[in-house]
Amino acid sequence: MLLDLKYLLSHLPPNVDKRDAFLLIQYTLKINYEKLFFIKEIEITVQEFDKLMECIQLRSEHMPIAKIIGHKSFYNNEFKTTTDTLDPRPETELIIDLFLKYFPNRAVPLSILDLGCGTGCIGLSILDFYKNSTLCLADISDKALSVAKYNAKNLNLENRCSFTKTSWFNDVKGKFNAIVCNPPYVEDNYDLDRDTLYDPPIALFGGKDGLDAYKKILPYTKQFLCDKGFLFLEIGLGQSEAVCRIAEDLDTIEIAKDLQGINRIIVFSINSI
């Protein structure tokens, strides 16, 4: 059967825009995104049409595109994502930029910990640059670790990775040259937009003040960092002062703003530096 693109795009649900529809058509039919702008009709099977309609319906229910198609771009790579993992977000890419700044020698063998790894997008993106380094991906969720393992294998990085099921540092062993972490920091009573509700609550909510995870991480970070090691930690809006107070036995090296001018990443080190 032939699918009339102009007709489809003019009959989308009100909350599904044309860009979303193009992405879903690309995903369903495995067709180049740019080519869609020059095509009026597409040959499509009944099964493909049903799948496309299902995807458009899910998007109309505010399911994010990444959750529908099962992957999302982050830094230089594509990462599998599911309803068991937080979707990679552009502001988190700032951690990679800062890591490259503080460890300019990419040949150096580093031991890296991605704490609360989710998809593994932070640690794996870094490991892709540091060819002589190793990465421990740690998360409390078996399903998240399964996604991280898939992403490590898909990027041909699994031989330099280990995986640990743990609640923060509880079952982590050894010391690391660098720790990266994007913990849950949304206040429990915060009214999230509907798209975000498809992310797992455990990866979003950080207690009444949004600081619960920091209170479980920062007092113990020093035990797991090597000399001249760094912690790269994502924070939420307006949390920088409170998080720095919790990290009283760490040196605050830098507070970096995201593209919206919000304090987003704090770089800490241990006092011996």
DSSP reduced 3-state for 177? strand
CA-CA distance, 197 to 63, in Å (whole number)? 8
pLDDT at position 273, please? Answer: 44
Question: Do the beta carbons of residue 200 and residue 192 sit within 8 Å?
Answer: no
pLDDT of residue 132: 98
pLDDT, position 38: 74
The class level of CATH for 72-270 reads alpha beta
- Minimal CA–CA distance to 273: which of 96, 102, 101? 102
Cα→Cα distances 56→44, 52, 86, Å: 16, 6, 21
Domains of the chain by residue range: 2-61, 72-270
In 70-213, the DSSP E strands lie at 71-74, 77-80, 111-115, 134-139, 161-165, 176-181
Token pair, residue 76, equals: 């230089």
Write out the chain's pLDDT in tens, 273 residues.
888 888 888 889 988 998 999 899 999 988 877 777 777 888 889 999 999 999 999 999 999 999 999 999 999 999 999 999 999 999 999 999 999 999 999 999 999 999 999 999 999 999 999 999 999 999 999 999 999 999 999 999 999 999 999 999 999 999 999 999 999 999 998 888 888 889 999 999 999 999 999 999 999 999 999 999 999 999 999 999 999 999 999 999 999 999 999 999 999 998 644
Tell me what pLDDT residue 187 has: 93
